[in-house]
Amino acid sequence: MERMLYDFLKKPILPFFLLVLLLSLAHGASPKTLEPTPSTRHHFVLVHGSCHGEWSWYKLVRLLRSSGHEVMALDLAASGVDQRQASSLKSISDYFQPLMELMASLNSSQRVLLVGQSMGGLAISQAMERFPRKISVAVFVTATMPGPSLSVSISIMRDPFFSYWFRFSGSSMLRISI
């Protein structure tokens, strides 16, 4: 029994989460089809985690678009195909700037479904604070989720996920905190 539980926990749960998400979005569709009606179509904004880019969502983007939803996966600053250099970013807000620009460009009547993975959770948290009327739902996929008693700075200090050690071409170890 313990072995079965161990094997289950080793499997990635992201596909399971996505299945649950898609099934919940199908609520209201006829039993014969999962094709969304105009009232069940959603606009998704997918935000990647650190050391990733919009490419990390490619399977989900195709799946959601084929179901008739509008989907936007974006690259945060200095990630994916974004041309900025990481050394040019002075704050976490600079890193989240592409998401903030996208949210600001939305019509005031348009509401999106934000999905943030890993450090993308911090980005969608900031978007939730700045654009609360433009967000219908925020989904945190194994993501950092600050709150009233857990600020960004405290979560970074507590969470070893944000601290990495790298070795470049035989040099000594370099600690990088994200």
**Per-residue confidence in pLDDT tens, the chain, 178 aa:** 555 545 555 556 666 665 556 556 655 544 455 566 666 789 999 999 888 999 999 999 999 999 999 999 999 998 888 888 888 888 888 899 999 999 999 999 999 999 999 889 999 999 999 999 999 999 999 887 777 666 655 555 555 554 444 445 555 544 444 4
Residue with tokens 């649950």: 20
Which residue ranges form the domains of the chain, and what is each CATH number? 42-177 (3.40.50.1820)
Q: Up-side HSE of residue 136: CA atoms within 13 Å toward CB?
A: 12
pLDDT digits (tens, 9 = 90+) for 36-62: 666 678 999 999 988 899 999 999 999
Query: What is the C-alpha to C-alpha distance for residues 119 and 20, in angstroms, rounded to an integer?
Result: 22
Report the SS3 class of residue 31: coil
Instruction: Look up the pTM and report it.
Output: 0.67
Burial label, 62 (beta-carbon count in 10 A; 0-12, 13-18, 19+): exposed
Burial label, 96 (beta-carbon count in 10 A; 0-12, 13-18, 19+): buried
pLDDT of 73: 95
Q: 108 is written with which tokens?
A: 């005031």
